[in-house]
Homo-oligomer: A and B are copies of this chain.
């Protein structure tokens, strides 16, 4: 039973790693919502997110882990955090180091920063100019909310996108600038998702059946989540994700797996409540 190889979304052609950077995260002062936002967006684009790496503010550490992840040849590496004007905002320096490129003052980025401070009638200090230094070959991403531009760099086949850590800035830049570009690169897939709540069957009784489903359906991902107990009866949420190039095919596939799990559960005397069935 230990020998089953897990085939998670093997039909997802493109993979990604996310780096969420900042000592506020490794000290547990801030919950990593950027990690879940980006991994959700990438998943819905049909990208398989392999890992999310959260690191304290340390250039050497960050560049070292960027290099390790580059060896995995992901299609995308997305970083958040460390683009601001303070001494510990050094993500682009770490990216430059990992790619063995120079950090250079980018004219377009400088224009963006300059305009922001001119609007506020503030001078350009070294700390503000710092935000316009990008690794060589980097394209600045406009920040419609804050002052620090993001950065898009292509490195061989890998695309590295760096965004600020402030969620409202990061999300605006992702939605307005990054995601439209990714959509042009990625094959179009529709993700159908279903969640069923199962009451009265312990997870360990469902495990062999879910295992069988996972092997049978290559384009379906199934996972059980124990949700505690209710009147001494276990509650499990089953999550089903199916993807196809066509919206209705995707929904059909999720429904098919859902129906099988419902039948199996009811056969064991469990109760099923379908909480969600939708296509994105």
Contact = CB atoms under 8 A, between A and B. Distances in A.
Interface of A: 1-2, 4, 6, 8, 23-33, 35-43, 48-59, 61, 65, 68, 84-88, 90, 93, 103, 120, 122, 125-128, 130, 146-147, 166, 168, 202-208, 210-211, 214, 221, 223-226, 228, 232, 239, 241
Nearest to A28: B40
Contacts of A210: 86-87
B2 A90 contact: yes
Contact of A24 (B33, B35, B48, B239): B239
A88 B41 CA distance: 23
A87 B206 CA distance: 10
A25 B50 contact: no
A212 to B, nearest CB: 9
Nearest to A40: B28
B41 A36 contact: no
Contacts of A1: 87, 126-127, 130
> What's the number of copies of this chain in the assembled complex?
2
A226 B127 CA distance: 15
11 contacts: A1-B127, A28-B36, A28-B40, A29-B36, A31-B31, A35-B54, A53-B54, A88-B223, A127-B204, A127-B208, A166-B228
A207 B127 contact: yes
A228 B126 contact: no
A26 B51 contact: yes
A6 B58 contact: yes
Contacts of A51: 26, 53-56, 61, 65
B2 A103 contact: yes
A62 B226 CA distance: 22
Give the most central of A23, A103, A168, A202: most B CB within 10 Å: A23
